Amino acid sequence: MPRPADTRPQALFVLSSARTLPLSKPTDHPGIPTGFFLVELAAVMAAFEDDYDFVFATPDGNPPQLDINGMALNFHAGSRLGSATARTTIQRATKHSTPEALRAKNPDLLERREAELALAHRHLGRIPVSEALPRTDSEAVSIRDDVVAGFEALPEHHYHSIPELIRRHRDPDDDFSLDSFAFVHMPGGHAPMVDFHDNPWMGELLHTLHDNAVPISLICHAPVAMTSARYRVDDEGTVTTDEQHRFRGARLTTVARYGERMMLELQYPKVPGESTRLPYYVDVALDAAGYDVDLTLNPSAAKVVWDDEHTLLTGNGPQSVDAQTEHLLRITGRTRTP
pLDDT value for 94: 87
Cα 96 from Cα 102, distance rounded (Å): 10
**CATH classification code of 10-331:** 3.40.50.880
Q: What is the rounded average pLDDT for all residues in the chain?
A: 95
Show the CA angle centred on residue 68, arms to residues 66 and 72, nearest 5°: 130
Q: Which of 44, 95, 76, 27 is nearest to 279 (CA)?
A: 27
- pLDDT digits over 246-288, tens only? 999 999 999 999 999 999 999 999 999 999 999 999 999 999 9
CA-derived radius of gyration, the chain? 19
Q: How far is CA 298 from the centre of its chain?
A: 20
pLDDT band at residue 6 under the 50/70/90 scheme: low
Phi, psi dihedral angles at 259 (to 5 degrees): -70, -40
Q: Which of 267, 335, 322 is nearest to 70 (CA)?
A: 267
Contact 151, 129 (CB under 8 A): yes
pLDDT value for 83: 95
Q: Which of 234, 246, 197 is nearest to 218 (CA)?
A: 197
Cα separations (Å) of 67 from 20, 136, 244, 290? 10, 10, 35, 30
pLDDT value for 18: 98
- pLDDT digits over 154-180, tens only? 999 999 999 999 999 999 999 999 999
Q: Is the pLDDT of residue 216 over 70?
A: yes
For helices 321-331 and 39-48, the axis angle rounded to 10 degrees is 30
Residues 6+ apart with CB under 8 A from 162: 14, 57, 58, 59, 60, 199, 201, 202, 204, 205
Cα 314 from Cα 187, distance rounded (Å): 10
pLDDT value for 7: 83
Cα 16 from Cα 38, distance rounded (Å): 12
Cα 192 from Cα 282, distance rounded (Å): 10
- pLDDT digits over 32-90, tens only? 999 999 999 999 999 999 999 999 999 999 999 999 999 999 999 999 999 999 999 99
pLDDT value for 338: 45
All structural domains of the chain with their residue ranges: 10-331
Q: Which amino acid is at 44?
A: V
Cα 47 from Cα 335, distance rounded (Å): 9
Q: Is the pLDDT of residue 5 over 80?
A: no
- pLDDT digits over 292-335, tens only? 999 999 999 999 999 999 999 999 999 999 999 999 999 999 76
